[in-house]
Amino acid sequence: MNTKKPTIAIDMDGVLADVESHYIAYYYQEYGVRIPPSALQGKPESEGFPDKTAVRRFLQMPGFFSTVPVMEDAVETVRYLMDHFDVYIVSAAMEFPFSLFEKREWLQQYFPFISWKKIIFCGDKSRIDTDYMIDDHCKNLDFCKGKPILFHASHNIDIDRHQRVHNWQEVRSLLEKEIGIPC
Amino acid sequence: MNTKKPTIAIDMDGVLADVESHYIAYYYQEYGVRIPPSALQGKPESEGFPDKTAVRRFLQMPGFFSTVPVMEDAVETVRYLMDHFDVYIVSAAMEFPFSLFEKREWLQQYFPFISWKKIIFCGDKSRIDTDYMIDDHCKNLDFCKGKPILFHASHNIDIDRHQRVHNWQEVRSLLEKEIGIPC
């Protein structure tokens, strides 16, 4: 009989996908202005850019989600974690209908080893029941049913109510400790 | 302070959307053969048709999900239920990437009063936590966290381990009883 692995919900934007760099790249391409990452610190994602309407517009542009770069070490770490955890990808994709297909294709490109059975696109995440949730937004973590893990992003630097990880190596270390694997 | 409404997960195919009629219509259109609904009784969805590969092929055809008819009384009943329940639409859409956008548009067409926040497209439904789940497939109901409600379909007539409803009027009556609304 199977021993059940603990379940994790892993967010896409800002966790698997480096949307922050992508906003900066799109902004440069559209406006010819290079915004330094430091300008985004401690502000909601759209507020760090001179044109506050830009980010929301980018999110609605066909091609935005299919071209976002993958976060450093995410692919290897997720693959490793799957040996010890039942991994679900949980993305709040429903607000932008065009993103649905692109996000599904993006996962197929970078994480082809994740079954379609393990992918969830939702609106809010309040009905998702997993033992852990890794996300960069408090609106998802504050009410999650499992242990919340805050993935570092410029917009969340002032949050101190959740365990923070700065990168995928820290995700791995934290989760290894959680299930008692020696580092 | 809000009194929390009980949560329901409502399936799309076979519950909100009349896929059975749609298979029959597609089959007629493609093969020129009208399959009577009685031929589908007690068989997995694809097995009632002379060409057993047809249903799976239809599911992958662009346009299939955007043109499926809505189930009788579903729109009015869901709208009514939203006064008393926190309604989520939960569809196992992930296997067919083209269906994602079409299903989102279809919901917008027939159920524009349902917020995108309440829509969940997933692979398996094992991580969905609601007080009730209405579905036509046991693979979703057998392990659901809330009370399972089996929506009648030709392929599930031999199932007797879940409370069965035959149509949306029965859904309404059952759920009214559950929360103590006099019929």
What pLDDT, in 10s, does the model give residues A32-61? 999 999 999 999 999 999 999 999 999 999
Q: Which residues contact B152 (CB under 8 A, 6 or more apart)?
A: B136, B164, B165, B166, B167
Residue B144: closest C-alpha in chain A: A129
Amino acid at site B107: L
Verify whether the Cβ–Cβ distance A121 to B100 is below 8 Å.
yes
Verify whether the Cβ–Cβ distance A97 to B105 is below 8 Å.
yes
C-alpha to C-alpha distance for B20 and B32, rounded to whole angstroms? 17
Please name each of the domains of chain B with its CATH number: 7-19+69-178 (3.40.50.1000), 20-65 (no CATH)
Residue B7: its H or E element: strand B7-10
Of B117, B123, B130, the CB nearest to A116: B123
* CA distance readout (Å), B57 to A78, B27, B65: 32, 11, 12
Verify whether the Cβ–Cβ distance B116 to A95 is below 8 Å.
yes
Which has the closest alpha carbon to B78: B127, B11, B125?
A: B11
Question: Is 60 exceeded by the pLDDT of residue A1?
Answer: no
User: pTM value?
Assistant: 0.95
Give catalytic residue positions of B: 11, 13
Strands (E), A26-172: 86-91, 119-122, 132-135, 147-151, 163-165
CB A124 within 8 A of CB A92: yes
C-alpha to C-alpha distance for A98 and A121, rounded to whole angstroms? 12
Question: Is 80 exceeded by the pLDDT of residue A3?
Answer: no
DSSP letter at A1?
-
A:B CB pairs within 8 Å:
80
Question: Is 60 exceeded by the pLDDT of residue A2?
Answer: no
Residues of A in contact with B130 (CB under 8 A): 127
Verify whether the Cβ–Cβ distance A124 to B118 is below 8 Å.
yes
pLDDT at residue B182, rounded to an integer:
80
Burial class (CB in 10 A: 0-12, 13-18, 19+), B50: exposed
Under the banding of pLDDT at 50, 70 and 90, the label for residue B170 is very high
Token look-up 């190596």 returns: A169
Amino acid at site B27: Y
- Mean pLDDT confidence for A107-135: 97
Question: DSSP readout, A135-179?
Answer: ES-HHHHTT-SSEEEEEP-GGGTT--SSEEE-SHHHHHHHHHHHT
Verify whether the Cβ–Cβ distance A129 to B127 is below 8 Å.
yes
Residues of A in contact with B98 (CB under 8 A): 101
Which has the closest alpha carbon to A103: A9, A40, A19?
A: A19
Token look-up 């995108």 returns: B116
Which has the closest alpha carbon to A100: B91, B134, B129, B75?
A: B91
Token look-up 């949306």 returns: B168
pLDDT at residue A166, rounded to an integer:
98
Residues of B in contact with A91 (CB under 8 A): none
Q: How far is CA B117 from the centre of its chain?
A: 18
Residue B130, min C-alpha distance to chain A (Å): 7
Of B7, B100, B123, the CB nearest to A118: B123
- Enumerate helices (H) and strands (E) in chain A, giving the number of each: 6, 6
Which has the closest alpha carbon to A8: A75, A73, A83?
A: A83
Residues of B in contact with A118 (CB under 8 A): 123-124
* CA distance readout (Å), A93 to A11, A125, B29, B102, B152: 10, 11, 34, 14, 31
Which ranges in B111-183 belong to alpha helices (H)?
A: 138-141, 168-178
Of B98, B105, B119, the CB nearest to A94: B119
Residues of A in contact with B120 (CB under 8 A): 94, 120-123, 127
Under the banding of pLDDT at 50, 70 and 90, the label for residue B98 is confident
- Mean pLDDT confidence for A80-98: 95
For the ranges A77-86, A116-125, B2-11, B28-37, the lowest mean pLDDT is seen at B2-11
Residue A9: its H or E element: strand A7-10
Question: Is 90 exceeded by the pLDDT of residue A182?
Answer: no
Residue B29, min C-alpha distance to chain A (Å): 28
**How many CA atoms within 13 Å lie on the side-chain side of A163?**
13
DSSP letter at B151?
E
Residue A114: closest C-alpha in chain B: B123
